């Protein structure tokens, strides 16, 4: 989680935690008018933006990263069962 994806997920986590804290403050202290009502608007904008980013991220599927990095696989089995043939086919 130290790479690009880790930083992205940390940013999302921070934004969600902050939105949750603002929402809880509004719920707990909104009656006392210590917390402004515009907090709800900011929380809504933050959550909608995060939703948009997550949807776009899931649609991407990180296909390019998989193609560049490749996949490591092991083909194991007894002798003469077609391991080489399977590898050649792949």
Give tens-digit pLDDT for 50-77: 999 988 888 876 666 666 676 677 888 8
Give which of 58, 60, 24, 17 is closest to 40, Cα–Cα: 24
Please list, in sequence order, all residues whose beta carbon lies within 8 angstroms of the beta carbon of residue 43, skipping any fewer than 6 positions away: 19, 22, 23, 26
Residue 31: predicted pLDDT: 73
Q: What is the mean pLDDT of residues 6-23?
A: 91
Rounded Cα gap, residues 61 and 67, in angstroms: 11
Instruction: Say yes or no to pLDDT of 17 above 90.
Output: yes
pTM score, whole prediction: 0.60
> What are the angstrom distances between the C-alpha of 69 and each of 1, 63, 88?
16, 10, 20
């Amino acid at each position: 989680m130290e790479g690009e994806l880790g930083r992205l997920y940390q940013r999302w986590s921070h934004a969600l935690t902050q939105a949750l804290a603002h929402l809880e403050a509004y719920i707990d202290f909104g009656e006392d008018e210590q917390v402004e009502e515009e907090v709800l608007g900011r929380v809504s904008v933050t959550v909608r933006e995060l939703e948009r980013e997550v949807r776009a991220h899931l649609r991407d599927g990180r296909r390019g990263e998989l193609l560049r990095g490749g996949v490591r696989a092991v083909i194991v089995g007894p002798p003469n069962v077609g391991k080489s043939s399977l590898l050649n086919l792949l």
